[in-house]
Amino acid sequence: MERKVALITGSAKGLGKMTALTLAEQGCDIVVNYVHSRDEAEELREAIERKGARCITVQGDVSRSEDMRKLVAETEQRLGGIDILINNAGPFIRERRLFADYKPEEIDYLMRGNLLGVIELDHLVLPYMRRKHWGRVIHFGFGHAAEARAWPHRAVYAAAKVGLVSFTKTLAVEEAGNGVTVNMICPGDIRGANKEKHIRDVEHITDEESPRGRPGTGEDIARVIAFLCLPQSDFITGNIMDISGGLDPIRTIQSTNKKS
């Protein structure tokens, strides 16, 4: 790949970290974004630089407009611009809770972090991609987000991501002529340390919830993102891709509720 600059939000740990390492191996220079995990971000920067790629770390919360403006400005100043934008970061409340029990500030935080902040960041980055007539934008969703089904106890998060589905498809059509592709990745329920593991680390482990039979890993997600970022992937845009091993997270939760 011709040297590109990739910004991955929320990339000090987890799926974002695996994506950053994978894109660095593919020949990209990397912007590691973090909110609180400064030590992990600096460790990742050193690992990426050992691979021969340039890398900077920039603190910023995707739910804060001023942070996103700073993130883009610092990247342009230090690395020239953003060719690849991976919108990995997005707040999530794992505790199951009815919509009526959310506080107004929690609703605002989830909507800004998962929808409005993503839209704003895309808007900041698009002018550079248009000038270059080349760009890759990746959004993150959840399994079956494209179907806009009800997700009990996840009302706000689901509403934000389903809104992002429509935005993904619209932006893909609008920017196709400018050489910019826009797709959404929908990971399965990849938890804890598995987010930073390779497929070989778990291929002999049984996961009874997964139709595939094994747990998902960070590599499962990062390798698809890396493929979408290739120059030859310019005909793939506007897609909502489930990478879940066949797991339906909504039905899993509904089934669990019935048993309890």
Q: Which pLDDT score, from 0 to 100, does residue 213 have?
A: 83
Angle of helix 104-111 versus helix 155-175 axis, rounded to 10: 30
Please measure the distance between the N-terminal and C-terminal CA atoms of the chain and give it in whole angstroms. 51
Q: What percent of the chain has pLDDT over 70?
A: 96
Share of the chain above pLDDT 90, in %: 75
Note whether 55 and 30 are within 8 A (CB): yes
Bridge partners for 56 per DSSP? 31
- What integer pLDDT is reported at residue 259 of this predicted model? 46
* Domain region containing 220: 5-259
Confidence band, pLDDT 50/70/90 cuts, at residue 215: confident
Tell me, what CATH number does 63's domain have? 3.40.50.720
- The more confidently predicted of residues 99 and 215 is 99
For the segment 101-116, the average pLDDT, to the nearest whole number, is: 95
198-210 pLDDT, tens per residue?
Answer: 989 988 988 888 8
Q: Mean pLDDT across the stretch 87-106?
A: 92
Buried b / exposed e over 47-85, threshold 16 CB at 10 Å, is: ebeeeebbbbbbbbbbbbeebbeebbebbeeebebbbbb
Cα–Cα dist 91/63, whole Å: 9
Residue 260 in this model has a pLDDT that exceeds 60: no
The count of structural domains within the chain is 1
Residue 91 has pLDDT above 90, yes or no: no
The pLDDT value given to residue 230: 96
Higher pLDDT pick, 259 / 120: 120
pLDDT of 181 over the 70 cut: yes
Query: Over 80: is that where the pLDDT of 249 sits?
Result: no
Contacts of 197 (CB under 8 A, 6+ apart): 217, 218, 219
Q: Is 60 exceeded by the pLDDT of residue 256?
A: no
Is the pLDDT at 257 greater than 60? The verdict is: no
Global pTM value: 0.92
The full DSSP string for 19-83 is HHHHHHHTT-EEEEEESS-HHHHHHHHHHHHHTT--EEEEE--TT-HHHHHHHHHHHHHHHS--S
Which one-letter DSSP state was computed for residue 173? H
So what's the pLDDT on residue 251? 65
Q: What is the DSSP letter of 230?
A: S
Please say whether the beta carbons of 216 and 194 come within 8 A.
yes
174-194 mean pLDDT: 94
Cα–Cα dist 65/58, whole Å: 15
pLDDT computed for residue 253 by the predictor: 54
